[in-house]
Amino acid sequence: MWSSSGSNAANHRRWLRASLAALAIVLAAAAPGLANAAANDAVRATGADWRDAVPQAQPLGGGDLTWFGLRIYRATLWSAQRPFDASQPFALQLHYYRSISRSRLVDTSIAEIKRLNATPPDEATLARWRALLTTAFVDVNDGDELIGVYLPGHGMRLYDRQRLLAELDDQQLARAFFDIWLNEKSRDQTLRRRLLGAQP
C-alpha cells in the first residue's frame, strides 16, 4: 500500500483543472440561451403596447379554436392590408379560455412547425427555436391574452396585455411560427379562412 501528500495534491489539482474545463464547456453551450433569457427579462421590465408596432392595423378576421367542443382560445388577425399581405407587419391576438402551461405552448408550437414542413428544420435549429420560445412564452390562464407581432426582415415580438414579453430576432422562426395559423396546411382550415376574412 502506498500514498503521499504530494501525489494527493497533484491528483487534486488535475481533478480541479478537469472540473473547471467541464464547467467552461457547459457555460459556453448555455450562453446563447442565458443571453436570450437575460435580454427578455430586461424587455419584460418595460411597458409596451403591441399596437405601437402595427399602428395602422385593423381586425381582419377571427374565430375560435375548439377541441372536441371545448373552446381553447379566440384568435384575431390584425393587419393594415386588405387583402392580407403576409410580407407586411401584422399581429395575431390570442384570447385564452383555458389554462395552458408554457411548456405545453412550446411543445405544441414546435410539433406544428415540424408537421407543416415537408423537410423540417434540422434538430439543432429546432433546439434553438425551442429555447427561444421557452424564454418568450409564459403560462396562460382563462382570460389571458398573448399577441404575436410579425416584423418582416427582423422576426417577431410577443406581448401580453400590459407589456412586451420578448423580441425574437429570427426571421425564419417568425415565419414558421405564424404559419401554424396562416399556412395552407394549417390544422384548422376553418379558423384560417376566418382569420383571413374569407369566411364569416
pLDDT in the model for residue 198: 86
pLDDT in the model for residue 26: 37
pLDDT in the model for residue 66: 94
Residue type at 187 in one-letter notation: R
- In angstroms, the Cα distances linking 24 to 16, 18, 38, 198 are 12, 10, 19, 54
Domain 50-195 has CATH 3.30.460.10: no
pLDDT in the model for residue 41: 52
pLDDT in the model for residue 34: 46
Distance CA 59, CA 5 (A): 76
Give the global pTM. 0.77
Residue type at 192 in one-letter notation: R
pLDDT by residue for the chain (200 residues), tens digit each?
333 445 555 555 555 455 444 444 434 444 444 445 554 454 454 557 999 999 999 999 999 999 888 999 999 999 999 999 999 999 999 999 999 999 999 999 999 999 999 898 999 999 999 999 999 999 999 999 999 999 999 999 999 998 999 999 999 999 999 999 999 999 999 999 999 998 76
The ranges assigned to domains in the chain are 50-195
pLDDT in the model for residue 120: 86
Q: Are 135 and 166 in contact (CB under 8 A)?
A: yes
pLDDT in the model for residue 172: 97
pLDDT in the model for residue 13: 56
Distance CA 126, CA 104 (A): 16
